[in-house]
Amino acid sequence: MTPEFVVELATEAITLTILLSMPMLGLGLAVGLMVSVFQAVTQIQEMTLTFVPKILAVFIGLLFAAPWMLEKITSFTIHLIENIPAYIR
């Protein structure tokens, strides 16, 4: 294995990690922003009010994105395992 190959493989893994985490982080950010605006408008400053909507949004998003996420991580893993003989040369 050359250093370039290791860097390329690490880049693929990091890119896949970011790609898989973005939908959940985006939903959490959007819901958090909406709850913050609601809190600012109504002047309700309850810290625990933000947790439940964020958790629900992330879980619902996970339900919808899970098949796509599973397909992405499975294809990456299959590609990695199939190419083990090429990696050890």
Domain that holds residue 48: 3-87
Contact 28, 60 (CB under 8 A): no
Q: pLDDT class for 29, splitting at 50, 70, 90?
A: very high
* pLDDT band at residue 77 using 50, 70 and 90 as cut-offs: very high
How many domains are there within the chain?
A: 1
What does the angle CA 27 – CA 29 – CA 31 come to, to the nearest 5 degrees? 65
DSSP structure class, residue 20: H
What is the pTM assigned to this prediction? 0.78
CA end-to-end distance (rounded Å), the chain: 7
The predicted pLDDT at position 1 comes to: 75
